[in-house]
């Protein structure tokens, strides 16, 4: 801006000063606008969430839930296996309580206090087991002296059959086999200290387990309703009704399973004992008790325990008698599989034979023989609970729909629990 010489004739009026100040303010505002940061404008986002096919989304949802369920199941199985010394006696006590609860109920109906009735049942059970063990021990001790000569004769018969039979094994080969067996036995006997330690630990666990079984059985019989009510109170209030009904269904299934198993085991033991007595096999009573206990593992227990009778017959009386004894065991097993299992287990416990086999296999893998004993009643109880909950949901939805359509079709106080209980009783 070129400065012009001030005209002395021009007067310095207020209007001139105001105009100059206004122009100076505009220049300063323009300079500040140029020095300020540019303004950032915002607006709606143009990014959209990633879209995946419905099948992939559903598979992902099921996958991570399945992983969480498997992890929780693995932790539960690990803890159960870790505390198996305590868990197994409690489960055995639960099975014994399911077997003996009708006696306690009968005594209670005849004016006997529940605690006293439970104590009487436990004492009578211990007495019967002690008498049975004494009887079997006497039978075994009496037959040991006669078994020596029978074993010698049986071994000679086996040796003659191996030499003159279809195998045509020479005496030198038999001697070499006996020498190898004796060598292996001597090698096993070297670790006597470790074996004695393991046996001592096992005996301690057995003794502790017996006491746990006795006390747990008594308290299950005496205070079962109180214990169950305490367990139900651990659930949320909204789920206590279903938890209570599911537990009662599981208990009913367990009692039916135990009763059916006792009938099947008694039939198996009686059949094999009769066959062993007819064939003159020694230790008939001991074989019967072993078969009775082994039959608590369905489908395979009686056959495995019955093989002991075949082995005793082979050692005591030779291969011919052992072959007949094997035929008796197979016949009893067929009777169980085709008559007893469909009519008893199929009626009381609705578990498919394939499910029984898989349950036993998983039980053996997880906890050995104890797992095989527990697996089938656990599977039966879980199956009953799942069916009950499914029926509970269906009946509850049907009842709500019927009440919405025509409230007069149902009584005012009708609930899904009452309908499911009526169906179970039918």
- Report pTM: 0.64
Whether residue 416 is predicted with pLDDT greater than 70 in this model: the reply is no
Tell me the two tokens of residue 353.
């034979």
pLDDT at 329 over 80: yes
Q: Is 131 exposed, middle or buried (0-12, 13-18, 19+ CB in 10 A)?
A: exposed
What is the reported pLDDT for 419? 41
d(CA 290, CA 304): 10
pLDDT at 287 over 50: yes
Distance (Å, whole) CA 338 – CA 264: 12
pLDDT-derived band of residue 209, with 50, 70 and 90 as boundaries?
Answer: confident
Characterise 184 by phi-psi region: left (phi > 0), alpha (psi -120 to 50), beta (else): alpha
| pLDDT for residue 233 is more than 50 | yes
The candidate with the shortest Cα–Cα distance to 268, out of 204, 331, 356, is 331
The pLDDT score that the predictor gives to residue 67 is: 95
In this structure, are residues 114 and 101 in contact, taking their beta carbons and an 8 Å threshold?
no
Look up residue 159 and give its two tokens.
């040796």
Cβ 97 vs Cβ 220: under 8 Å: yes
Q: Is residue 63's pLDDT more than 90?
A: yes
For residue 72, what pLDDT is reported? 93
Q: Please name which of 387, 327, 378, 326 lies closest in space to residue 355, comparing C-alpha atoms.
A: 378
Write out the two tokens for 401.
Answer: 């729909």
- Both tokens of residue 68? 């969480």
In this predicted structure, the answer to whether residue 190 has a pLDDT above a threshold of 60 is no
Report in angstroms the alpha-carbon separations of 296 from 108, 164, 370. 29, 41, 11
Mean pLDDT of the chain: 75
16 or 211: which leads in pLDDT: 211
Task: Give the C-alpha separation, 241 to 415, whole Å.
Answer: 11
Structure tokens at 209: 């387990």
Cα–Cα distances (Å) from 165 to 160, 169, 238, 241, in that order, read 8, 8, 73, 69
Segment 83-139, tens digit of pLDDT = 878 888 888 888 889 888 888 888 888 888 988 989 999 999 889 888 888 877 776
Q: What is the average pLDDT across 352-372?
A: 76
**Which pair of tokens denotes residue 170?**
């020479």
For 190-300, where are the alpha helices, taking DSSP H only? 192-232, 240-279, 284-294
């Amino acid at each position: 801006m070129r400065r012009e010489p001030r005209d002395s004739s021009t007067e310095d009026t207020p209007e001139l000063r105001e105009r100059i100040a206004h122009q100076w303010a505009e220049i300063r505002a323009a300079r500040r606008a140029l020095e300020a940061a540019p303004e950032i404008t915002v607006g709606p986002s143009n990014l959209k969430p990633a879209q995946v096919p419905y099948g992939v989304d559903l598979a992902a949802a099921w996958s991570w839930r399945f992983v969480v369920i498997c992890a929780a199941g693995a932790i539960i199985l690990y803890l159960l296996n870790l505390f198996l010394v305590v868990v197994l006696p409690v489960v055995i006590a639960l099975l014994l309580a399911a077997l003996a609860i009708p006696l306690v109920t009968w005594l209670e109906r005849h004016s006997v206090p529940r605690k006293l009735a439970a104590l009487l049942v436990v004492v009578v059970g211990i007495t019967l087991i002690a008498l049975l063990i004494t009887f079997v021990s006497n039978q075994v001790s009496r037959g040991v002296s006669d078994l020596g000569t029978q074993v010698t004769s049986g071994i000679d018969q086996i040796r003659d059959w191996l030499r003159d039979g279809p195998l045509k094994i020479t005496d030198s080969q038999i001697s070499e086999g006996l020498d190898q067996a004796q060598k292996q036995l001597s090698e096993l006997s070297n670790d006597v200290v470790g074996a004695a330690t393991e046996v001592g630990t096992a005996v301690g666990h057995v003794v502790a387990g017996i006491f746990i079984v006795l006390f747990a059985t008594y308290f299950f019989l005496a205070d079962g309703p109180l214990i169950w009510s305490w367990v139900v109170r651990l659930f949320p209030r909204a789920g206590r009704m279903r938890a209570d009904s599911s537990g009662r269904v599981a208990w009913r299934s367990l009692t039916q399973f135990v009763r059916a198993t006792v009938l099947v085991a008694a039939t198996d033991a009686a059949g094999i004992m009769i066959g062993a007595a007819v064939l003159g096999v020694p230790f008939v009573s001991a074989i019967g008790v072993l078969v009775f206990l082994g039959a608590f593992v369905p489908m395979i227990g009686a056959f495995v325990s019955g093989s002991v009778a075949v082995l005793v017959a082979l050692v005591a009386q030779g291969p011919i008698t052992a072959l007949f004894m094997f035929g008796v065991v197979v016949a009893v097993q067929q009777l169980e599989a085709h008559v007893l299992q469909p009519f008893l287990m199929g009626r009381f416990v609705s578990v498919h034979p394939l499910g029984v086999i898989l349950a036993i296999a998983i039980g053996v893998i997880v906890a050995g023989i104890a797992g095989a004993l527990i697996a089938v009643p656990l599977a039966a109880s879980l199956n009953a609970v799942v069916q009950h909950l499914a029926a509970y949901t269906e009946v509850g939805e049907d009842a709500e729909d019927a009440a919405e359509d025509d409230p007069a079709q149902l009584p005012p106080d009708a609930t899904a629990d009452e309908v499911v209980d009526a169906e179970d009783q039918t």
